[in-house]
Chain A
Amino acid sequence: MTTAPAAVVASTVVDPELPMLTLADLGVLRSVDVDGGRVVATITPTYSGCPAVAAMRDDLARVLAEAGYDDVEVRLSLSPAWTTDWITEHGRQALRDHGISPPGPAPSGPATLSLSPTRRALSCPRCGSARTELTSEFGSTACKAHYRCLDCLEPFDHVKEI
């Protein structure tokens, strides 16, 4: 019996909350190493409280087991901290295709206090209009802000830069 390389199998696992993205697209899957018969996959959490981490861990173990890898260990890596800059170009396109606005460049340098609404150059993932309005910096999951389009009037999610 031949089995696909563990890294290839692991790279097919999708995010439980953004299923159009693989964990690899999201930049959450940091490495897949094979040591003898054992597969060690390393993931990094997006946010400290992201409840999807446990599901990601389970999904990785299950998909690898289904591909014939019985001995799987999923490790967490906290450092360096995840950044939206790790979302691949393929992942960004997949977000857009599913009506979610992908993140711009993550802020760098010391955190600055901003007392006016965040301004982002982004476009509506449905109609392409650049006339959009921030509804809330906090959306349906920890990683998203909520917007609406002033032309097609549809609401949409935007993956926040961190």
Chain B
Amino acid sequence: MNDHDSVYDGLLGGDDAHWAFGTSFEDPLAGVDTTVPDDVDRAALAAYCLMLGDDALVHSHRLAEWCSNAPDLEEDIALANIALDLLGQARLLLARAAAADPEVVPVLPEGSPAPPEDALAFFRDQSAFRNVRLVETPNGDFAETMVRLLLHATWRLAIMQRLVGSRDPVLAAIAAKAVKELTYHRDHAGRWVVTLALGTEESRRRLVAALDAVWPLRWELDRTHDVERRLAAGGVAVDPVDVAAEVDVLLAHVLGTAEVEQPDVKRIGAHGGLTGRDGRHTESLSRLLAELQSVARAHPLGLW
């Protein structure tokens, strides 16, 4: 045996100094009062935070796949920046889920230094992920990636703007920051959709094809899940029904500016009424998670 048997050996203990930013990634909610208001259902709050957190985590991973593959260097950096914002939102939301209901956090081997949000990201199985299927489907071409980002960012921004008034102060604080970030994401996606539609014959053809490919997944964001309904009634969550009209107007404005029609496509089916929000996913999520999780799962005692 020598020190070079595994490139990951260095992750097990040793000196923190070789990490650019240290390894002191303690609780991202350190010092934040994470008390859950008395009348709020902790399990439902955790489930809701996982929904919004998993949307961000999975979409972040997909966007990061463009790293070194985007059409130009500026776009490469733009997508990495957007992915980083979403990853940050995911980290806070998963930490909030864990603080609200520790039962959702997978149990790791004794001695594992993984914080709860990492345990949630890297050690949950596919069926425990609550993201919509829209964000897990493979990137496709650049037009498809931009249509997906437009749909998600438009919906998410509308939700987060209202969550700023959530009765859960932690969720409200996470939302207030997310609103600022998502404003840039939505503009970016909207501008690209218009640019592609009004660009060349080929870019327009691809944009129209992308709308047809992605639109069938849209309805899952709009459909109210039982968790959303219950928490919205208590002023903690936002019922997607309440943002649907606003999202429709914004999307119609983008498509109108782009001079393209709303796609007339059937929505993708649910499995016995269950969707991504219930842990029913497409095969592509399992491949995404294999890539996202395999190293962490192989080294549950690793320091990252």
A83–B181 alpha-carbon span in the complex (Å): 11
Determine the chain B residues whose CB is within 8 A of the CB of A74 once the complex forms.
30-31
Cβ A78 vs Cβ B32 within 8 A: yes
- Identify which of B78, B170, B254 contacts A78 (C-beta below 8 A): B170
Cβ A111 vs Cβ B30 within 8 A: no
Of all chain A residues, the one with the shortest Cβ separation from B251 is A113
Q: Which of A16, A48, A82 is most buried by chain B, counting CB atoms within 10 A of its CB?
A: A48
Which residues between 115 and 158 of chain A lie within 8 Å of chain B, taking CB atoms?
A: 115-118, 135-140, 142, 146
B residues with CB within 8 A of A: 21-22, 24-26, 28-32, 74-75, 77-78, 80-82, 84-89, 91-92, 157, 161, 169-170, 172-174, 176-184, 186-188, 190-191, 194, 250, 253-254, 257
How close is A12's CB to chain B, nearest CB, in angstroms?
19
Rank and list the top 3 A-B pairs by shortest CB-CB distance, nearest first.
A75-B31, A49-B88, A48-B88
How close is B169's CB to chain A, nearest CB, in angstroms?
7
A-B contact count (CB 8 A): 127
Of all chain A residues, the one with the shortest Cβ separation from B86 is A49
With A48-B174, A49-B91, A76-B28 known as contacts, the answer to whether A111 contacts B22 (CB < 8 A) is no
**Chain-B contact segment, one of A54-62, A64-72, A94-102:** A54-62
Cβ B181 vs Cβ A47 within 8 A: yes
- Judge if A36 is at the interface, Cβ distance under 8 Å: no
A residues with CB within 8 A of B: 16, 42, 45, 47-52, 54-55, 57-58, 73-83, 107, 110-111, 113-118, 135-140, 142, 146, 160, 162
Cβ B177 vs Cβ A47 within 8 A: yes
Determine the chain A residues whose CB is within 8 A of the CB of B161 once the complex forms.
110-111
Cβ A115 vs Cβ B191 within 8 A: yes
Determine the chain B residues whose CB is within 8 A of the CB of A113 once the complex forms.
186-187, 190, 250, 253-254
Of all chain B residues, the one with the shortest Cβ separation from A82 is B177
Determine the chain A residues whose CB is within 8 A of the CB of B187 once the complex forms.
113-115, 118, 137
How close is B86's CB to chain A, nearest CB, in angstroms?
7
Cβ A79 vs Cβ B78 within 8 A: no
- Identify which of A16, A42, A81, A118 contacts B176 (C-beta below 8 A): A81
How close is A39's CB to chain B, nearest CB, in angstroms?
13
A-B contact pairs, 22 of them (CB 8 A): A16-B21, A45-B177, A48-B174, A48-B181, A49-B84, A54-B22, A73-B31, A75-B31, A78-B174, A78-B176, A79-B169, A81-B173, A81-B180, A111-B179, A113-B186, A114-B187, A115-B191, A118-B187, A138-B184, A138-B188, A146-B77, A162-B180
Q: Which of B82, B170, B191 is most buried by chain A, counting CB atoms within 10 A of its CB?
A: B191
- Identify which of A16, A82, A142 contacts B81 (C-beta below 8 A): A142
Cβ A78 vs Cβ B77 within 8 A: no
A92–B121 alpha-carbon span in the complex (Å): 38
- Identify which of A42, A48, A54 contacts B89 (C-beta below 8 A): A48
Cβ A49 vs Cβ B89 within 8 A: yes
With A75-B30, A115-B190, A139-B77 known as contacts, the answer to whether A48 contacts B178 (CB < 8 A) is yes
Of all chain A residues, the one with the shortest Cβ separation from B92 is A48
Determine the chain A residues whose CB is within 8 A of the CB of B170 once the complex forms.
78
- Identify which of A48, A77, A82 contacts B85 (C-beta below 8 A): A48
- A-B contacts besides A81-B180, A111-B182, A113-B254, 16 pairs, CB < 8 Å: A16-B21, A47-B181, A48-B85, A49-B88, A51-B21, A78-B32, A78-B170, A79-B173, A115-B257, A117-B191, A138-B74, A138-B81, A138-B184, A139-B77, A142-B84, A146-B74
Determine the chain B residues whose CB is within 8 A of the CB of A111 once the complex forms.
157, 161, 179, 182-183, 186
Determine the chain A residues whose CB is within 8 A of the CB of B86 once the complex forms.
49
Of all chain B residues, the one with the shortest Cβ separation from A44 is B177
With A137-B188, A138-B77 known as contacts, the answer to whether A52 contacts B173 (CB < 8 A) is no
A118–B188 alpha-carbon span in the complex (Å): 10
Cβ B173 vs Cβ A78 within 8 A: yes
Determine the chain A residues whose CB is within 8 A of the CB of B186 once the complex forms.
111, 113
